[in-house]
Amino acid sequence: MPANKLRGALPKELRLGTLLTDSVRLLRRDFYQRAQGLELTPALGRLLFYIVRNPGSSQVDLAIRLEVTPVTLSRMVDRLVKSGYVRRMADPTDRRVYRLQLARAGKPLIGRMTRLSLETTARALRGISKKEQEQLARQLTILCRNLANDDV
């Protein structure tokens, strides 16, 4: 089906790209307004969350996930290591690879960031019932799975 026919076939409310992009932008904005006192850039905050969710990830894997170059990610990690929030560990099977872990000093920071994230989430979900929240989570999980699948 030609693209112009597809556009007309979807009601405005179902233009997922726009809705999801706006939602993510507004969630991030709310979170980083709450997190101003943490002295982290938004990019460093995202990196910390990725490290916590994926302990032992390589810098290359994290660069791919964050959609930055390996050199950019390395500089970001340097800042987090210098602050004492993250530590690099040599990979036992490949000496060229570093694995990243949250350092002890990063744990209180992650605790504060998690609380702020929960506040943002609560604000975003105001007026949406628990049942609708569960349904939304299931639907977004399916959407992610569909798009992550390489079969077109």
Determine the pLDDT at residue 15: 79
In a domain, residue 73? The reply is yes
What percentage of the chain has pLDDT greater than the value 70? 89
Mean pLDDT confidence for 90-111: 93
Sequence-separated (6 or more) residues with CB below 8 Å from residue 113: 35, 38, 45, 48, 49
What is the rounded distance in angstroms from the CA atom of residue 126 to the CA atom of residue 133?
10
Q: What is the CATH number of the domain that holds 72?
A: 1.10.10.10
Which candidate, 147, 62, 125, places its Cα nearest to that of 97? 62
Q: Where are the beta strands (DSSP E) in the chain?
A: 86-90, 98-102
The alpha carbons of the chain give a radius of gyration, in whole angstroms, of: 19
In a domain, residue 67? The reply is yes
Q: Is the pTM of this model over 0.85?
A: no
What is the rounded distance in angstroms from the CA atom of residue 68 to the CA atom of residue 43?
10
Query: The domain containing residue 106 runs over which residues?
Result: 15-148
Mean pLDDT confidence for 78-90: 95
Residues in the chain: 152
Number of structural domains, the chain? 1
In a domain, residue 1? The reply is no
In a domain, residue 3? The reply is no
b vs e for 78-110, b when ≥16 Cβ sit within 10 Å of the residue's Cβ? eebeeeebbbbeeeeeeeeebbbebbeebeebb
Task: Render pLDDT for 2-41 as a digit per residue (tens, 0 to 9).
Answer: 555 555 566 666 678 888 999 999 999 999 899 888 888 8
In a domain, residue 58? The reply is yes
In a domain, residue 99? The reply is yes
